[in-house]
Amino acid sequence: MFKKKYIRFVNEIPGVDITHPIIPARQQKYKWFSSINKDVTEHNLDNHGPDKKGNTARCPGIVDLLQTGYIVTAPFDFVIRTDGSKDNMEWRMNIDPALLNKDIKSPYISLHPANQLHNYSPSREDSLDVILKVNTYWRYVGSEDVLLLQMPIPYPDHNLFTACHGIIDTNKYNELKLQLQWHKLNGEYTVKAGTPLCQLLPIPRNFDINLRVEEITDHDRLANNSYVYTTMHQFSRNQVLWKSSIKKIMDKLRKSISR
């Protein structure tokens, strides 16, 4: 018998696990997605006929990504103020986390200076050269063979910041200190507690995959044409029928591929 793999989070600040817990990505609701879903329903935008009015709300690549993994949110409100410089910023928050846990020594916000990254890997022209480091006070442990891919929120409700990509390996460190690239060079902006900061995707520690780049076959062409038919033959696509049919097409193609 094999035990189910797990990932476990605890927070050093009492109450964060109740008020702003880490949640499955499928539970996170985005304002823009709700708006586009409303338009799809009210204006019949999900049209896959000759004029091809396909909509983002029905794009499987986007929808599946938004529903995969887990969301880490800001545990406290914080304010970032910039003055037009790419290497200068100020921040403030409403309460010192050390008042809630006397064992906490590190601040809520700190910085990675430009000489740690952006002196070598160029930053965006609209972004600070320094990187914000947000201490979420989450601690993590998981099954030995599970890693976490840290990635930006792929389609957020704002354009204030982007989380940096990285791999979180509990065998090397267990703190969730999230690096953010800040995109506002002049002004003062508030990030509210509960704002999604990054998305975490569980991945296996060791990949054992046979990469195959091969010449296209008649089986591939048949599967491609079947896919196009299944995707485009209805004005308003039946999602259940479409997913079921595509799986059957791909299963048939897999059987045709020599091992």
44 pLDDT above the threshold of 70: no
- Whether 85 and 187 map to the same domain: the answer is yes
Q: For residue 58, how many C-alpha atoms fall within 13 Å in the half-sphere facing its CB?
A: 21
For residues 143-151, average pLDDT: 94
Q: Which of 58-67, 182-191, 199-208 has the lowest mean pLDDT?
A: 58-67
Does 238 lie in the same domain as 178?
no
> Is pLDDT at 257 greater than 60 in this prediction?
yes
The angle at the Cα of 183, spanning 22 to 71, to the nearest 5 degrees, equals 10
DSSP code of residue 21 = -
Q: What angle do CA 45, 48, 50 make, to 5 degrees?
A: 110
**Residue 133 pLDDT more than 90?**
yes
Same domain flag for 103 and 158: yes
Per-residue pLDDT at 131 exceeds 80: yes
One domain, residues 237 and 126: no
Closest CA to 107 of 127, 81, 78, 86: 78
Residues 75 and 193 sit within 8 Å (Cβ to Cβ): yes
Tell me the residue range of the domain where 198 lies: 7-12+71-204
- Residues 83-113: tens digit of each pLDDT: 999 999 999 999 999 999 999 988 999 999 9
Q: Do the domain assignments include residue 98?
A: yes
pTM: 0.87
Residue 52 has a pLDDT of 52
State the total domains in the chain.
Answer: 2
